[in-house]
Amino acid sequence: MLHIGCHLSSAKGYLAMGKDAISINADTFAFFTRNPRGGKAKDINQGCIGLDALVSVINHPQLRNLPFILETPNELAGYAQEIALLKNNFLE
């Protein structure tokens, strides 16, 4: 399956960014918690976005079936904890 998306501005927030993606019929939505040119990714709930916002995104009706990429500054054990945290907050 071909997934197509593009870079969208997050200046108006991630919800607006998602709505922009939907408005152009993009079927892929990705956002990053840091500037790729500098800085470091933060653990979930320690950065600017926070767990509540991530839970809203992964449970949003128009986004919940899309693939997500989780970028955190962890090693495998830390990845496992953060993946479990999101899975435990995903509404079936």
Instruction: Convert the pLDDT of each residue in 30-49 to its tens digit.
Output: 666 556 566 667 778 777 77
C-beta separation of 47 from 54 below 8 A: no
Q: What is the pTM of this model?
A: 0.57
Task: Give 12's contacts (C-beta < 8 A, 6+ positions apart).
Answer: none
Tens-digit pLDDT profile for residues 67-76? 777 666 667 7
